[in-house]
Structure 1
């Protein structure tokens, strides 16, 4: 019996690491309506963008949580919408002392990519990494929080699907 329990536990952990792509139409509508109500808008895209940015801020890698690490820094992301089918990502990295600030901008073309965001929260790391939907490479890094990573992956997946509609 212990072997069966460990298999079930492993299967549920693997499933938890995947975005909730299997939401039914009613569940999807409820989720989007809750976000529109939360952010006081009738626009799904605005609500999804606001939710994604809120989660990115909530689970951002912060120097204050990196006690004892040699290279402490803040790493914060901000998303916006560019041209049709384009998601803009701004990454700001600031050293713990607050002196050096590095800003990087990326564009993600959403047409033709799998909109379901995958992520990984390795047990040996202090962070979770969301995977780039274009090639599966590391894309966004947040502090290690499985539930936060799952919520962010869900919001980003819905946002990408929304952007793919044009």
Structure 2
């Protein structure tokens, strides 16, 4: 009986181990399945108004390779609106409407939310910057205060200001890709030119991703050392070229080629400036 009991315990342990391994394998989903799983989780979190949970799922979706479904931008718009990040909320909602069109299941609600965003922005338009107006030429972005960065940390569930700023910048860039054909824009199809950023201790690393008409992809990387440069990042939009630019703070050359959207480009330049200043501060986190 002792031998039988020992074998029984070995079998039970083996089953536990096998179950653990299988459970681990269940999380190793292919990207397309993981994207669908996270989209379902996001939908449920938004329906329950669990905005922090929804934000976490959206952060994980953002980091997945592959084209995002149109509904991703709708849910991101809702979460950003709840977090009072009005520029990004409007960009995401506009991207959803453009992609999904009138047949989109959230089309009407997205239009209503865009109106709500505009009303909320009007209520904030009493700031000195708004009173100065927009001359339409080169704009200089002042890095925002600690309160806004704290809000970003809460939104992205980030452990540091640096992580929050990096996530926010990539989130903005995701919907700002430049397209040669501006007549048909589908956010679930990749742009002709798009960017991703990362950081190390003393540099912002920018990856440019270019796609040609044959579907070939060329990736080019450059590293911007943050020491000795001005964190006030300049930008401009050229209506004739249907392009907005963010300029390299090292020498004023063109750094990022973006879609023709002034508000969106302004926030990208602002967030890049905040990130540079954070890296320049040895005590920055």
TM-score surpassing 0.5? Answer: yes
| Residue in 2 that maps onto 1:142 | 258
Runs of 4+ displaced beyond 2 Å: 14-20, 62-67
1:75 aligns with 2:193: yes
| Residue in 1 that maps onto 2:169 | 52
The alignment partner of 1:135 has SS state of coil
User: Is there any run of 5+ residues in structure 1 with no aligned partner, and where?
Assistant: 1-10, 68-72
The alignment partner of 1:144 has SS state of coil
Shift of 1:61: 1.2
Q: TM-score, normalised by structure 2?
A: 0.47
The alignment partner of 1:77 has SS state of strand
Shift of 1:125: 1.9
Q: Residues 75-98 of structure 1, C-alpha deviation per residue, up to 9 Å, x if partnerless?
A: 11110113x211111111011341
| Residue in 2 that maps onto 1:155 | 271
Paired residues in the alignment total 145
Query: Looking at both structures, which has the greater relative contact order when contacts are Cα pairs under 8 Å and sequence separation is at least 6?
Result: 1
The alignment partner of 2:233 has SS state of coil
Bigger helix share: 2
The alignment partner of 1:76 has SS state of strand
CA RMSD across the alignment: 2.1
Q: Residues 86-126 of structure 1, C-alpha deviation per residue, up to 9 Å, x if partnerless?
A: 1111111011341x111101010110000111001022121
Distance 2:245 2:273 in 1: 15
Rg: which structure is higher? Answer: 2
The alignment partner of 2:162 has SS state of helix
User: Is there any run of 5+ residues in structure 2 with no aligned partner, and where?
Assistant: 1-131, 185-190
Shift of 1:42: 3.2
Distance 2:156 2:213 in 1: 32
Distance 1:12 1:112 in 2: 30
| Residue in 2 that maps onto 1:130 | 246
| Residue in 2 that maps onto 1:65 | 182
